[in-house]
Chains A and B, each alone.
Chain A
Amino acid sequence: MIDLLIKLVLTSFVLFLVLNLAGLHTWVERKQSALSQDRIGANRAPILGFRMFGLFHGIADALKMFTKEDIVPAGADRTLHLLAPFFSVFFALLAFAAIPFGDRLIVGDRVIVLQIANIDAALLYVFAMLSLGIYGVILAGFASRNNLAILGGIRATAQMISYEIALGISIIGVVMVYGTMNLSEMVRAQGQMIGGWIPLWGIVTQPVAFFIFLTAALALTKRLPFDLPEAESEIVGYFVEYSGMKFGMFFLTDFLETIVVACLATTLFFGGWQVPFLAPDGFHFPWGAEIPVSNWLYALLGFASFSVKCLIFLFVFMQVRWTLPRFRYDQLMSLGWKGLFPISVVNIVVTALVLILIREAT
């Protein structure tokens, strides 16, 4: 019973955090783009005269989405049309279940692992959920009974096939290095040090895989420079026929997927909740200094480390989104198939060779 309660608290904690972060992302998107383009950004939604740097625009957006008319086009498949946005959000949210956002917390004699579900094949689970999310997009295009929406859905499919393989293969190198698919184990393995100074994070052991993962993950989030499925401004994407909160859910999915990808990049390549030199009982610096850390502070530091890394990734993703123009359709495919795919395969071979050499040497 108490176990169930703990899981429930963890789940609501993660959901609360993630959904609010996604909501806040609309504000970040407006303000960050404004700052990097020498503008001021949205600041015209004051509450009682308080502008708060335009923070309330998110609330105004939500109110607008909820009160707008929800239109289902004539001749559309009503059930699928309704299901598609829920599919998108559902799978994007499910992916968070396997991501460890902290090490563990000891309350009394109970050890609480700061992760919703400790799955052995967590990596496969997360990628399965992210791939299933594309069904929402395809369904939306299919159920809208609109040629442009179907084309958007097809573009999404083609894009998925191009990046998904590179994405999957790029992380095989990481799995080989750490020898596990369990994300918790993987983060724990990244806590070791090379020569006592450099943390054994994924970015150190698999730099090439990191950049391939980053590129493919940007394509996965369906945002610029890979926003071919949507392309609101010119070629019209899969959600043309959506309005009101159903459209809002697709919008939310975009931000959720960005957060998932940031969490994944942190977990796989930047040591997840690891803080350099921090062991469960305190800091052990290589020059001999030691600072003891209490149980609660240790959990908090781990969570803070994870959050800060995630937020930095979100910041960089956002900046990339407001810097680069859109890739052409064929450019994206040739990048995925002729660029990322071969490099990631070579990366696996090289990783395997190096691993064997290291094992021979020791």
Chain B
Amino acid sequence: MGVKEVSRPKLTFWEQTYVPQIFGGLRITFTHFFRNLFIHIAHRFGRLRDTRAGATIQYPEELRPLMSRYRSRHRLTVRDDGTPRCVGCMLCETVCPAKCITIVPAEHPDPHVEKYPVRFDIDLGICVYCGYCVEVCPEDAIRMDTGILDLAAYSREAMQLDIHELMNPELRKPVSDCDLHFPHQCALAGGDLKGSWEGVHES
């Protein structure tokens, strides 16, 4: 086994007294202290707004800037008439490594569109945020660009997003009313179909 000699640097007498290091350290902390104090006071008077006085990001009020490709909570994109772009091809459900997507497709009244999702559920408690569903989608129907990071809930059930929350990222559980423009098996109204194609066809 090879032996490597590590030469320890010999401290000079001046260094052994700790004095230069102590004062050097104090100089750094004092500089930071007074600089930040000055900037904080300037902020109070509305000056130097673009200079930050600390690296702290005060989270709930202030969000860290996200990269455009950051994978945050999913959403389903919609057509101009308010129906989902999803055509129920099941590619995302198939590719999902965590098997967190559940789709129930149904026949679409428009002959040019094959199917539409009656149900589209994502269990965020299982999702691994790999983004494969976004990549595989042929219709650009699912994206992960909501910028929502505070994904926390008190129960596993509350982590399951249904189509209401996916189509409208502003919604949070519990969703009280179904406002979808197409028939789907809505659990909110006791399983009765709510919404219709009528308004959609007119537009």
Contact = CB atoms under 8 A, between A and B. Distances in A.
Contact of A36 (B22, B30, B40): B30
Contact of A319 (B26, B37, B53, B58): B26
Given A319-B26, A324-B22, A324-B25, A36 B33 contact: yes
A118 to B, nearest CB: 37
A317 to B, nearest CB: 11
Given A323-B25, A324-B22, A324-B25, A37 B32 contact: yes
Interface string B39-71: 010000000000001111010000000000000
B13 to A, nearest CB: 12
B185 interface: no
Interface residues of A, number: 14
A39 B54 contact: yes
Contact of B56 (A40, A319, A320, A339): A40
A35 B56 contact: no
Interface residues of B, number: 17
B26 A38 contact: no
User: Interface residues of B: mostly helix, strand, loop or mixed?
Assistant: helix
A213 to B, nearest CB: 16
Most buried by B among A34, A323, A339: A323
A322 B55 CA distance: 18
A39 B40 CA distance: 11
Given A40-B54, A40-B56, A40-B58, A35 B26 contact: no
Contacts of B17: 339
A38 B25 contact: no
Nearest to B17: A339
Contacts of A322: 29
A39 B52 CA distance: 10
Given A35-B36, A36-B36, A38-B36, A323 B54 contact: no
Please name the 10 residue pairs, one residue from A and one from B, whose CB atoms are nearest each other, closest first.
A36-B33, A40-B56, A36-B29, A35-B36, A323-B29, A323-B25, A40-B54, A36-B32, A35-B33, A38-B54
Given A32-B33, A35-B37, 6 more contacts: A35-B32, A36-B32, A38-B36, A38-B56, A323-B28, A324-B25
